[in-house]
Chains A and B, each alone.
Chain A
Amino acid sequence: MPRKPTRRRQLLKAQPFTFSSFARVASAYKVKRQIRHSKVYRKSFPNSSGNGFIDHAPPDKSEQSESSDEEEFEGVVQADFAFFDPKPDDFHGVKVLLQTYLDDKQWDLSGFVDLILGQTTVGTVVKTEDDEDDGLYSVVSTLNLGRYKDHKCIMELKECLLKVCQEKDVLDNLRSLLGEQAQNVGLLVSQRVVNLPPQLLPPLYDALFDEVSWATEDEPTEELRNSFCFKFYLLVSRIYKHKNAVQKKGPSSSSDEAIIYIKTEDEIFHQLSSWSFSFPLRTQQLATRELRNYRLMGLVMVVEADKVSMFRQQLQSLINES
């Protein structure tokens, strides 16, 4: 049977089956366009339907081209990311991103993903402009714990968090937050591919918090409007914690930091949090030389909703200076 020569096939021919959708896009751009020797890196955020975004003027950044002998292309890959409302078609992409949300515990992940995709008014997924490859690079959303309290996934999530919390003083706080105060708590879900450009983070989080405030006015029923009036945001994330629990007082000889945050915004969230706790994970972490003194741990934080504007400012300055 002769192979039908379409553009897609030629793309597949040029590369092996890559797991990372970013790698697929990166090599797709390499194959489709001529290798650019110009050193302009551009990302644009077009007006996507329903999000009510102001079109950002794409900031032109000149970067040094990285010459790497292992890779076939020089220079920087040009990628256009777009923000979309979650839709049911995004199921597989979002599920892959949230696979390790609750460590290796077997829970109703599909139901959880359905909740996120069902909430089109608050929540964003990041994809590329090109429709051919529907790789999903990031998902951000906030779920009201009280509104969805009868769903199996939320019940399992609450049970799991209560079980892993080993610090007595925060356990009571956690229990009340997940129990009586659930109506005021938003579970902030944010997950992305590791190599997503950090310049996307301020608009992404701005989008989320803007959508939450618009939802408090625009939702059709009063109950829904109230469900977005969050007092607290609950976050479940991961960090690398230094194995030596005791902190050295005074100038420490080693330049090791106590905590390494996998996601940059977690550092800001952690500073602004009212309380937090970390818990050990059962999955094995990748053993790299740089991280040999660190242990991968889960981190649960609670941030008061009033602190959101401070977070947005700090995130903006953090990304701009780096």
Chain B
Amino acid sequence: MATRLQFENSCDIGVFSKLTNAYCLVAIGGSENFYSTFESELVDVIPVVKTSIGGTRIIGRLCAGNKKGLLLPHTTTDQELQHLRNSLPDQVVVQRIEERLSALGNCIACNDHVALTHTDLDRETEEMIADVLGVEVFRQTIAGNILVGSYCAFSNRGGLVHPHTSIEDLDELSTLLQVPLVAGTVNRGSEVVAAGLTVNDWTAFCGSDTTATELSVIESVFKLREAQASAIVDEMRKSLIDTYV
């Protein structure tokens, strides 16, 4: 199910939060309303952690992560790093990386299997991503934009990309990511889809300006209507136990 909300009058939810299948990060300083909306959807399923990164609230755009790991920019303070390591589940590897392009959320878009990255990312960073997040990394552009993390949002079940993405590019990306993709907008025509929405395999949060049409597109491409949180999280648990054997 997709939920509409605001962070202090801003509809850019994807800027102030980061949602994955194993945890959810939210920015501090917003009203309790913001935090409690996430909590009410995710309580008992995954932890919701309040944090800042480098003293800022734009955490969604600074970090990149999935259920296996979380990558933080070099601007993250030691206390924030420790706080995240303590609050997140043990199976999530939290790593701070030295990368010139420090807005990792804008440069990297990923789900639990594949990541798309900015074309100018360092080689070492690419290796880190593959290592920490356990994904296959592809350098790509979306509708000619190099900030792939800003212009597309995808989960393990579907993805939403910049509205001006051509059909050929959509097909190519879809083959790469192995999920159905749709070109669309969020927050009443905003092209920066990842800023306006944050999504995982069973739920999504988008800005309150999102129209009913946009919301229905989001719910259908990410397959949120039939999704049940417990089923997916249990699947994860089974696969974790498998690795011990």
B189 engages A91 (CB within 8 Å): yes
Tell me whether A92 is interfacial, beta carbon within 8 Å: yes
Number of A-B residue pairs having CB atoms within 8 Å of each other in the complex: 37
Taken residue by residue from 5 to 29, chain A's Cβ proximity to chain B (1 for < 8 Å, 0 otherwise) reads as 0101100100001000000000000
Tell me whether A110 is interfacial, beta carbon within 8 Å: yes
Residue of A6, A8, A92, A109 near B9 (CB, 8 A) is A109
Tell me whether B75 is interfacial, beta carbon within 8 Å: no
Chain B residues whose C-beta falls within 8 Å of the C-beta of A99 in the assembled complex: 9-10
CA distance A3 to B208 in the complex (A): 33
Residue of A1, A6, A8, A92 near B172 (CB, 8 A) is A1
CA distance A6 to B33 in the complex (A): 44
Chain A residues whose C-beta falls within 8 Å of the C-beta of B6 in the assembled complex: 106
Select from chain A the residue with minimum beta-carbon distance to B147: A17
Chain B residues whose C-beta falls within 8 Å of the C-beta of A91 in the assembled complex: 188-189
Most buried by B among A1, A4, A105, A106: A1
Chain B residues whose C-beta falls within 8 Å of the C-beta of A109 in the assembled complex: 9
Q: With contacts A6-B144, A12-B145 known, is A107 near B9, CB below 8 A?
A: yes
Chain A residues whose C-beta falls within 8 Å of the C-beta of B106 in the assembled complex: 17
Sort A-B residue pairs by CB-CB distance and give the 10 closest, nearest first. Answer: A4-B144, A9-B144, A110-B209, A3-B141, A106-B9, A109-B9, A1-B140, A104-B8, A1-B141, A3-B144
Besides A1-B141, A106-B33, 17 other CB < 8 A contacts? A1-B140, A1-B169, A1-B172, A3-B141, A12-B145, A17-B147, A91-B188, A91-B189, A92-B188, A92-B190, A99-B9, A99-B10, A104-B8, A104-B9, A106-B8, A110-B11, A110-B208
Residues on B lying within 8 angstroms of A by beta carbon are 6, 8-11, 31, 33, 106, 119, 140-141, 144-147, 169, 172, 188-190, 208-209
Residues on A lying within 8 angstroms of B by beta carbon are 1, 3-4, 6, 8-9, 12, 17, 91-92, 99, 104-107, 109-110
A-B contact pairs, 26 of them (CB 8 A): A1-B169, A1-B172, A3-B119, A3-B141, A3-B144, A3-B146, A4-B144, A6-B144, A8-B144, A9-B144, A12-B145, A17-B147, A91-B188, A91-B189, A92-B188, A92-B189, A99-B9, A99-B10, A104-B8, A105-B9, A106-B8, A106-B33, A107-B9, A109-B9, A110-B188, A110-B209
